[in-house]
Structure formats: structure tokens, C-alpha cells
Amino acid sequence: MLKVQMRSMLVTSLRDKITLFYSLLLPIVLMFGLAIFFDNPEQQLHIICGVTAISTVFWGMQGIAFQVHWQRSRGVYKLLMLTPMPLMQFIAVMIVARTVIGVAMNWSIWLIGMLSFGMKLTAWSIGLTQLIIMIGTICFTSIGFVIANAARNEAQINMLSNLLQMPMIFMSSAFYSLDGAPAWVAFIGKLLPFEHYTNLISTMQSAGSSISILSLIVLVLYIMIAILIASITFRWDTNQLMLKSSTA
């Protein structure tokens, strides 16, 4: 049974062409565009890691938010409530499937970038990058679930995603140094998960570097908080919180 569900979730995610465009094609184009423009190897490495991180955010946050909203509005969760299968099991299968694809996709983006621009690859960086991408995907997917619960429609998903993504990306050192930025910008950036995620991907590219435990803790904390909020605010019906004003 789980095999059928996992396969179906993988297929439905892989056939979502729009999300694949934003999470795979666009980051690759962006990466090549930027990396060709900045021909400094150090800067190129920065760009590869930054683009990989952005792809994770798009796939994790917006991808899951739209998927959950769609399923909820079409009555999938209503039907699931009438089956012996626990709803949370279905959601767990969905997250695992999306994480598997997310890791494969983002790791491919990173690998394409590293190989194309002649970056040094080590077994350490190849393996650890996969692990960090997995943690990042789970983190942003969990936040995407919170967005899906808070939003009432597709427009609100876009709005809320942008509200979170834009400050996360612009207040991070993914593409440029924040050394010259006001202190409060760097401070807020460090409170957000994206900065720590890009930090983890970037630092592990240097030989002999150790993982930033603080960044890892921040991501895990975000995962725990987001899952907690998502489970508290989860709605299986679009009108669940609006029942007081709904029609019969």
C-alpha cells in the first residue's frame, strides 16, 4: 500500500511542470547566467551554493503549499477522513516523496554547477551536501505547510511565500557579502533559516571545514517549530475555520 502511495506521490510531483520549472530549470539558467557574469571562482562557488539554496526554498515552500492547498480545496482530505488511513500518514508520505525529489533535484543543480565550473569535488562534500539539502528541504517544506494552512487561496500562498522568501533571500549572504550592510539586516538574516542553510552548503565546500553546529541547530529548530505550528493549524477542509460564516 505504502509503495503505491509513494509511487503516486513521486509521479504527481514529477509531473508538476510549473514547480519543476521554478525549482529546476530556472535555478540552472540563473546559475549559469550569474556564474558566467562573475568569472571569479570564489564568487562562482558562492553562486552555485546560493542558487541551490534558492531552488530548495522554491521547491519546499511554494511547492508543498500549492499542493496541500489544491488537495484540500478539491476535497482530498475530506475523502481521506472517510478512509481507514490516518491523514497524517498520507501527509508524511507526501513529505517524504517531495523530500526525495527535492534532494535529487537540488543536489543535481549543485553537481551540475560544480562540474560545469570546474570546482573541486570531494567524497566528503558530495555526501554531506546531500545530507544538508535533505535537512533544508524538510525545513522549507515544513514552513510551506504552515503557509498552506494560513492561506485561503492561491493568491495568498504567493503573497505569504514572497513575504517570507524575499527577506530571507535578500538578508542573506547567499549572493553577496553582508559586511557592508547595516547591522540590523545581518542580525535579522541570521535569525532566518535561509542564511544558515546557505552557510551550511557553502562552508562544506572547503576542504577540511567543519559543519556549523549553530546553523544546523537553527534549521532543526525551525523544522520542529514549523511542524508544531503546521499540526496545530492543519485544516482538512477549506472552510474549516470559516464555518461560522459559511453556507450549508
Partner 1 sequence: MYIEAKGLVKQYGKRMILNNIDVSIQAHEIIAIIGPNGAGKSTMLEMLIGLQKPSSGTIWHWDTAYKGKIGVQLQAVPFFPGLSAMENLLLFASFYKKSISKEEAMKCLRICGIHDAAHTEAAKLSGGQQKRLAIAVAIIHEPTLLFLDEPTAALDPRNRQDIHNLMLELQQQGKTIVFTSHDMDEVHQLATRVLVIDQGKIIAAGEPAELCNKYDAASLTQLYMKLTREDECYA
- In angstroms, the CA 97 to CA 113 distance is 24
Measured from the CB atom, is 78 or 120 closer to partner 1? 78
Q: Kindly state the smallest distance separating residue 101's Cβ from partner 1, in Å.
A: 12
Distances 138 to 97, 112, 113, 216, 224 between C-alpha atoms, Å: 11, 22, 23, 13, 10
The residue type of 244 is K
CB atoms within 10 A of CB 151: 19
Q: Kindly state the smallest distance separating residue 64's Cβ from partner 1, in Å.
A: 14
Using CB under 8 A as the binding criterion, the count of chain residues that bind partner 1 stands at 33
One character per residue 55-94, x = contact with partner 1 (rule: CB under 8 A): ---------------xx-xxxx-xxxxxxxx----x----
Measured from the CB atom, is 23 or 198 closer to partner 1? 23
Q: Are 137 and 98 a contacting pair, CB within 8 Å?
A: yes
**Set of cell numbers at residue 8:** 503516486
- The distance from CA 127 to its chain's CA centroid, rounded to whole angstroms, is 19
One character per residue 12-51, x = contact with partner 1 (rule: CB under 8 A): xxxxx-----------------------------------
* Binding positions for partner 1, rule: CB under 8 A: 1-2, 4-5, 8, 11-16, 70-71, 73-76, 78-85, 90, 237, 243-248
